[in-house]
Copies of this chain bind each other. A is one copy, B any other.
Amino acid sequence: MTNSVRIALDAMGGDFGPSVVVPGAARARDRRPDTSYLFFGDEQLIKPLLDKYPKLAAVSEIRHTVVVVKNDDKPSQALRTGRRGSSMWLAVEAVKKGEADAAVSAGNTGALMAMSKIALHMLPGIERPALAAIWPTVRGESIVLDVGATIGADAEHLVDLAIMGSAMARIFFDIDRPSVGLLNVGTEEIKGLEEVKAASRRLREAALPTLDYRGFVEGDDLGKGTVDVVVTEGFTGNIALKTAEGTAKQIARYMRDAFGSSLISRIGAALASGAFRALKEKIDPRRVNGGLFLGLDGIIIKSHGGMDELGFAGAIEIGYEMVRHGLLEKIRETITLSSEGANAPVAGDATSS
């Protein structure tokens, strides 16, 4: 790592491409002056935008490419057309080559995942990657993983998720020992999947110094913020995430219908506009933008495709923090610890690291 944190950007990703990526990077640089940028994409589009932000331009380099992964490309299509030459591939590859410390893309999630898996190695002791989301709660935020990188999980993978998610939480929340819960359908005796129960036993026995395992949590604990890190298998995690997003949209729709229904309601809503603003801010997805791929030997951030520059800057800053505070080292340490535990051989062979 050089003095500055070097961020590789897929300038063509997302719904708006460079028109959001460049101003987003400018914002991130203002807040984190010790950053520098590698933009991958169409120089003709990037250069004029970059010229508007001289401070950013001074710490940036453009690598021209015309190949773009489309938002609706299937992962296999993306790999066929975009491997080697696309802005997304090149941003990920910059991390692999050591030219950048982290990569950020607002492009197609499936394609980004597929490319990251091919371009980067797994961390020693981790078998499969995960996607971690930042989940707004009534207490603040939690980290929830896996939200869809890997379908199906045995007990060992669930333990790995706990280790990786808590390493991210230590940095993101700046705490020593984040609380961790395993998502389950209840705390009753006969309930739950076998692998979830086995993972729970392992986590309890391992008694890791880097995380505070609290047992099972249920779906409604996500919004409550009962624990800092919620661990679940990728199928269920993805459905929980999209269900929550869908419910938030549904209620927003009910609100629009209700408050637009009469003149008096509209006047009341206008008077309470400050409250509406506060509410909107609370459920603003830009506050929690940025999914993190975990388990790979490199830091790759997925920004939502529809984000504006504020949201994209937030995704860059997550990458920055993870680099500055040594996410990969933190994961490696705990994997080694957990595999050394005599009672709890929770991960694969970590001695090769």
This chain: how many copies in the complex? 2
Cβ–Cβ contact A238 & B261, under 8 A: no
Interface string of A237-266 (1 = CB under 8 A from B): 011111111111111011101110110110
| Nearest B-chain residue to A72, judged by Cβ | B188
Interface string of A131-162 (1 = CB under 8 A from B): 00000111000000000100110000000000
Contact with A240, one of B137, B243, B257 (Cβ below 8 angstroms)? B243
| Nearest B-chain residue to A267, judged by Cβ | B271
Docked pose: A278 CA to B269 CA in angstroms: 14
Docked pose: A74 CA to B190 CA in angstroms: 9
A183 at the interface (CB under 8 A from B): yes
Docked pose: A185 CA to B150 CA in angstroms: 11
Q: Taking chain A's interface residues, is the majority helix, strand, or loop, or is none over half, making it mixed?
A: helix
Contact with A151, one of B193, B265, B282 (Cβ below 8 angstroms)? B193
Contact with A218, one of B242, B244, B267, B275 (Cβ below 8 angstroms)? B242
Docked pose: A274 CA to B261 CA in angstroms: 9
A276 at the interface (CB under 8 A from B): yes
Which B residues touch A264, using CB under 8 A? 271-272, 274
Docked pose: A278 CA to B262 CA in angstroms: 11
Cβ–Cβ contact A258 & B240, under 8 A: no
Contact with A110, one of B186, B192, B224, B275 (Cβ below 8 angstroms)? B186
Docked pose: A279 CA to B259 CA in angstroms: 9
Cβ–Cβ contact A220 & B246, under 8 A: yes
| Nearest B-chain residue to A218, judged by Cβ | B242
A232 at the interface (CB under 8 A from B): yes
In the complex with contacts A185-B239, A251-B283, A271-B271, A246-B219 CB distance below 8 A:
yes
Kindly identify, within residues 188 to 225 of chain A, every residue whose CB is under 8 Å from any CB belonging to chain B: 188-193, 218-224
